[in-house]
Structure 1
Amino acid sequence: MRRARASPERVTDITGIAASRDGFAVGRTKGGFRVAISLALLVGIYFFSAVWGRGATSTTGASSDIASAGVTRRVIGDGRVEAIWNVPASAKGTVLALHGCSHSALDWFPRDESRCPECRGLAQEQKITNAALDAGYALLAVSSAGHCWSRDDVPRLALALDAYGAEHGASRRRPMYAFGASSGGSFAGVLPSLSDLPRRPDGLIIQIAGGPGGTGLGLAHYPPTVLSHMPRDESTAAAVRRSIDELTAAGARVLEHRLERRALTPSFFEEESAGKVTARESAGLFHALRDELGVLDAHDLLIRDPRSFDVGQIAKLRERTPAWDSLVPDESDVREILNVAYAAHELSAQDFMKNLRWIVDASSA
């Protein structure tokens, strides 16, 4: 049951933070007044849902849990720090999502005209968000100031974490795990060393990026870390290997996760887009790649980097691509899924929950 997607909160820019509360309970009644009281309760539930579904918040400053209000987008302070989150009721913890270069927090949540019209919900990012919410974790995504993450983003992230903590005070008492890919993975890798954040992560999933080795971060106290990489990227694989050796030598807990090439199937695009690409469209894309473009081998593995497809190949692919997908790199679900299958350098949702469970267990051991 995905309570995290129910009763969405209205999307606004932040002008002040007020904590929200969940103070609702239902009791059972007996006797002749049961029907009347039940009707009153139903009216109360309807009123509660209607008000809170429109995004009303408490002004008491309390930091108790809230029922999920759906996607919330905040643009914080003069620096216009963009943070987007969704918090299930009684969330177990928070997954901090850090995008790669040319991306933003908008990729992690689906477009919604009333709640987040700017959101675009890319396939793999949205799969990670859905998995986190389904497992009872909040997901908080933050945008970098520039094309990629840099040290200049540290105070911006601190502002985002402060705003999130002020609105969801219970999150301060629960673990936070960071997932970052490429530039976001490198940025995630330095977070445990930063004393100027309101809190630091209890575990990391660093994807398609080298780990923190050789940076003098006090690796003996480094949180449990999954280094998830695509071995075809040999330079990143070498950096991952060095980080694993250094973390292991320091006594930190670390797990290597390898993202290999994946065979395409008629249902591959449907599955990897969480159903955004229909079964028919998915099968059409598969047959276009295999039978018309000839870019799959005998095992249905891509034999050409999809980033290097020429104009003619893209035009042929467009004939089978959903109308809503632009096929523009870094904005296209189909292009992202192709990059995942080729496994050279792309954010991937593969085994996200397996890796999250590992850092949760390792950090609580």
Structure 2
Amino acid sequence: MRASALLFLRWRQLVLCVFGALLLLIFLSSIFPSRSRGHSSRSVELLPILGSKHGSEFLWQMPPRPARAILFLAHGCHCRATFFWDKSPNCPHCIGLPEDRLYVLKALESRYAVIAISSTNTCWDRQADTGKVVSILQGWIRENRLDGLPIFALGASSGGYFVSTLALRLRFNATVLMISEGHFEVMDFDRDYPATLFAHMPRDERRAIGVARSMKLLKEKGVGTEEIQCLALPVTPQLLSDRIPGVGDEASRKIYQALKEAGILDENDFMRSDGRRLVCRAVLDRRNAFPVSLKKWEHHIQEELNAAYAYHEMTSVPLERTFDWFADHGK
């Protein structure tokens, strides 16, 4: 009896230890989420359908199962709708920037019908683009029998300013403005304005002050609003291979090492300054860390370094919170 009782106690202790370890892992993963937003685990392919109306190109894709919501994506300055989808036979001129494409993947996996429209000019213009976008969106919704579904919008930088005013013409259920404070100080809106989430980078102090003012105006009108502050992230040896399909582990490590040796990364592997202010390509070329095969990923690499510095760049840091925000306001 003593031997069996001792065996039972040891077995019970082992079970409790394993269970405790699992709980600890779950707790730690919730506090320190993985920086890898791996592309290989995604179950949806990015295969858009291209369209053109009023001289504006647009791309769209339906989820594998019946859509339960709609997402409109508005790019930033110097970008296009094609930046949200990977290059494919469906879209040979798409480039699939790493942070942008993750919003399309997440939307499709969440059963959202996704559409992105290119601005008329380099940046969005209310006069030139509002009527076009309203016509394209309304026509696309009708043609694909999506009437009655919740409709959401996400705009980055110039696209965020545009979405903030577009919401006066189109009834969105909720919006997300990324690295943008919107045009609320010059807008006439009421409590029926859609709930607005601001995802911004507080390192950009001027814009952070603008976001605070916009949130104050929204709250005064009784409009739901929250913010997500996106902070700087360390550059790791696996950063680029984790985020950019097509960049392998060896290339990612070489680029990391070149940045480290050049003093572009500090002792904790954070970017010392905005990637836009660095001649990163020249630095990498001098250290033979940027072979010809990587040239097509130059814009992708720059986006990741800019996002890591966290001053003004599209970022998927608020990806999960964005879709939680949409889900909370989808009725």
User: Shorter-chain TM-score: what band?
Assistant: 0.7 to 0.9
Q: CA deviation at 1:193?
A: 1.1
| Aligned match of 2:221 | 250
CA distance, structure 1, for counterparts of residue 270 and residue 43 of structure 2 = 38
Report whether the alignment pairs 1:211 with 2:182. Answer: yes
Structure 2 counterpart of 1:302: 271
Q: Which amino acid aligns with 2:239?
A: F
Separation of aligned partners in 1, 2:136 and 2:216? 33
Contact 2:234 2:269 in 1 (8 A): yes
CA positional deviation for 1:219 = 3.5
Equivalent of residue 144 in structure 1, options 119, 127, 145: 119
Equivalent residue for 2:85? 109
Counterpart for residue 279 of structure 1: 249
Question: What is the Cα deviation at residue 327 of structure 1?
Answer: 6.2
For the residue of structure 1 that corresponds to 2:133, the secondary structure is helix
**Deviation of 1:142 (Å):** 0.3
For residues 172-187 of structure 1, what are the structure 2 equivalents within 5 Å?
Answer: 172-187=147-162
Q: Which runs of 5+ in 1 are unaligned?
A: 7-69
Tell me the secondary structure at the aligned position of residue 5 of structure 1.
Answer: coil
State the AA in 1 paired with 2:304.
I
Shift of 1:348: 0.9
Task: Say whether 1:124 aligns with 2:99.
Answer: yes
Choose the corresponding residue for 2:171, options 193, 200, 203: 200
Give structure 2 stretches of 5+ with no counterpart.
1-40
Q: Do the aligned partners of residues 296 and 2 (structure 1) sit closer, same or farther apart at CA in structure 2, a change above 3 Å counting?
A: closer
Task: Provide the C-alpha distance between the structure 1 equivalents of 2:59 and 2:147, rounded to a whole number of angstroms.
Answer: 17
After superposition, give the CA deviation of every residue in 1:196-226 in whole Å (9 maximum; x if it has no partner). Answer: xxx4321111001113422333241121111
Change (3 A) 1:127 1:119: same
Task: Tell me whether 1:227 sits opposite 2:198 in the alignment.
Answer: yes
1:299-338 aligned at under 5 Å gives the runs 299-310=268-279, 312-316=282-286, 319-320=289-290, 323-326=293-296, 332-338=299-305
How many angstroms apart in 2 are the aligned matches of 1:289 and 1:189?
A: 38
TM-score normalised by L of structure 2: 0.81
**Aligned position for 1:361:** 328
**1:5 CA drift (Å):** 3.1
- Corresponding residue SS for 1:173: coil
Counterparts in 2 of 1:241 and 1:165: CA distance versus 1, 3 Å: same
3-state DSSP class of the match of 2:92? coil
TM-score, length basis structure 1: 0.74
Quick check: 1:87–1:138 contact (8 Å CA) kept in 2?
A: yes
Aligned residues between the structures: 288
The alpha-carbon distance between structure 1 residues 239 and 326, as it changes in their structure 2 partners (threshold 3 A), is same
Higher-helix-fraction structure:
2
Residue 324 of structure 1 and its aligned partner are, at CA, apart by 4.4
> 1:232-260, CA deviations, whole angstroms, 9 ceiling, x for partnerless residues?
11111111000111111221111111111
Q: SS at 1:288's partner residue? A: helix
